[in-house]
Amino acid sequence: MFQVPRGTRDFTPEEMEKRRYIEQNMAATFTSFGYGEIQTPTFENLELFTAKSGESIVNELYAFTDKGGRELALRPELTAPVIRCYVERLQMEPKPLKLFYFGNCYRYDRPQKGRYREFQQAGCEVIGVETSEAAAELLALAFTLLKNVGLKNVRINIGNLTIISAIFKRLNLLKDDQKILLPLIDKSQFDDLKVSLRDCGVSGKDAETFIRVLQTSEVNEIRSFIADDPDAVKELAAMETILGLLKNAFHVTEYGIKLSIVRGLDYYKGLVFEIDAPVLGAEKQLCGGGSYELVSLFGGTEVPTSGFAIGFDRTILALEAEGFIFPPLKLDVYIIPVNQDMICTSIEIAQQLRSQGFSVDFDQLRRGIGKSLKYADSKHVEKVIIVGPKELEKKTVTLRDMKIGNQEIVSITEICAKLKKT
């Protein structure tokens, strides 16, 4: 027997229905915000990803050499490919450029709940704008996407790497120190952080204040700590403007400042954020993003860029955990030929209804009426048409409503009109 490879999955029609629902719903939200869809190849030159994230990520990639000796890799995420595409052929497009995408990504990780080796992401990148209103819209869009698919309880946590850098500078921390400290901040391991800060020569008092600032949501507390760094003060003021717009213009209130969001990556700058679904417990992060610098690394003229990615699988898990009812697979009409002489007419009716936009199926197993009705019921069909010789003599059929349970004799020519009415 063959099985799917480790960390991959088959999706049944039932599961695909959920996935398509989310995809279509999100695409509608993206387009309503003025975004255009983009698609890039499933694999890229390996170098694209090592340039972005360093040689060490090769361990977590599906990388291979093709028959021409090219070093390639299945994409582990979509930001780098989209920015590559921008640099390669979209640099002269009018700004701002707003791009969204859906795509399968691949990582050689140990699979866990909600985490697979092949997984789907939805996301977007905004190129060529760095105003507060653009940043606020990005946050609002990420939030709206998740709300629109039906999630009730999600929360945005907003951090800022410019402010974190200013604090590092003020505490006289070197680049090498930051490499040790950032992962601890990311994981909110504040006890370990305190020890490491002391090892890096930070006084106990400063360390405690720093750790308190990392956990606070009070702007004033942050401001007093960074008061002597003009860049950081400016960034904090910009952040207040963004949050003001988010609240007063986009009417999104489920957010908080959380400076310990650092996203652990070199190329993020300034605003960073994550969105959680508390129902998921430990593995609750649904979305991550922020502003970053990649264009110049890929050889393009530097422009502001920002974006985010949403994990499809966790979004589905979160919806299921919240008890969300997905729109069910729907078959409008099921046609039952009473005997084999009725098959031809049944097919004609099916074809006619299909051309009018109804989803229609008919019995192809030549089952009895009882069994066919049972089958129709198990498929949640709303209407059944029974084609039998008695009615057919008068060019009529029986139209049965499966919900109410009653039925009526309808002329063949009037079926369509009758169905449209209800």
Partner RNA sequence: GCCCGAGUAGUGUAGCCUGGUAACAUAUGGGACUGUGGAUCCUCUGUGCCGGGUUCAAAUCCCGGUUCGGGCCCCA
Phi, psi of 31 (to 5 degrees): -65, -30
Token duo for residue 290: 């922020």
Compare residues 233 and 347 and give the one whose CB is closer to RNA: 347
Q: Is 84 in the site for RNA (CB under 7 A)?
A: no
Residue selected from 368, 394, 413, 418 as contacting RNA according to rule CB under 7 A = 368
Nearest to 154 by CA among 319, 324, 323: 319
Q: Distance between CA 171 and CA 225 in Å, rounded?
A: 11
Compare residues 3 and 220 and give the one whose CB is closer to RNA: 3
Q: Is 49 in the site for RNA (CB under 7 A)?
A: yes
Compare residues 132 and 162 and give the one whose CB is closer to RNA: 162
Q: Is 264 in the site for RNA (CB under 7 A)?
A: yes
Compare residues 290 and 300 and give the one whose CB is closer to RNA: 290
Q: Which of residues 88-117 bind RNA (CB under 7 A)?
A: 107, 109-113, 115
Assess contact for 295 and 305: CB atoms under 8 A: yes
Q: Is 212 in the site for RNA (CB under 7 A)?
A: no
Site size with RNA, rule: CB under 7 A: 56
CA-CA-CA-CA torsion sign (240, 246, 251, 252):
negative
Q: Name the minimum Å distance from CB 52 to RNA.
A: 7
Q: Name the minimum Å distance from CB 371 to RNA.
A: 6
Compare residues 49 and 255 and give the one whose CB is closer to RNA: 49
Q: Is 87 in the site for RNA (CB under 7 A)?
A: no
Q: Which of residues 268-287 bind RNA (CB under 7 A)?
A: 282
Q: Name the minimum Å distance from CB 369 to RNA.
A: 4
Compare residues 24 and 411 and give the one whose CB is closer to RNA: 411
Q: Which of residues 376-395 bind RNA (CB under 7 A)?
A: 376-378, 386, 388-391
Residue selected from 29, 79, 165, 260 as contacting RNA according to rule CB under 7 A = 79
Q: Which of residues 288-347 bind RNA (CB under 7 A)?
A: 288, 309, 338-339
Token duo for residue 203: 């006084």
Q: Is 169 in the site for RNA (CB under 7 A)?
A: no
Residue selected from 170, 183, 194, 345 as contacting RNA according to rule CB under 7 A = 183
Q: Name the minimum Å distance from CB 31 to RNA.
A: 24
Residue selected from 265, 279, 331, 347 as contacting RNA according to rule CB under 7 A = 265
Residue 22, CB half-sphere, CA atoms under 13 Å: how many?
27
**Residue environment code for 10-29, b if the CB has 16+ CB neighbours within 10 A, otherwise e:** eeeeeeebbbebbbeebbeb
Residue selected from 6, 20, 394, 395 as contacting RNA according to rule CB under 7 A = 6
Q: Is 57 in the site for RNA (CB under 7 A)?
A: yes
Compare residues 28 and 344 and give the one whose CB is closer to RNA: 344
Q: Name the minimum Å distance from CB 56 to RNA.
A: 8
Compare residues 220 and 378 and give the one whose CB is closer to RNA: 378
Q: Distance between CA 271 and CA 174 in Å, rounded?
A: 22
Residue selected from 26, 29, 44, 53 as contacting RNA according to rule CB under 7 A = 53
Q: Is 418 in the site for RNA (CB under 7 A)?
A: no
Binding site for RNA (CB under 7 A): 1, 3, 5-8, 49, 53, 57, 60-61, 76-77, 79, 107, 109-113, 115, 183, 187, 263-265, 282, 288, 309, 338-339, 365, 367-371, 373-378, 386, 388-391, 398, 400-405, 407
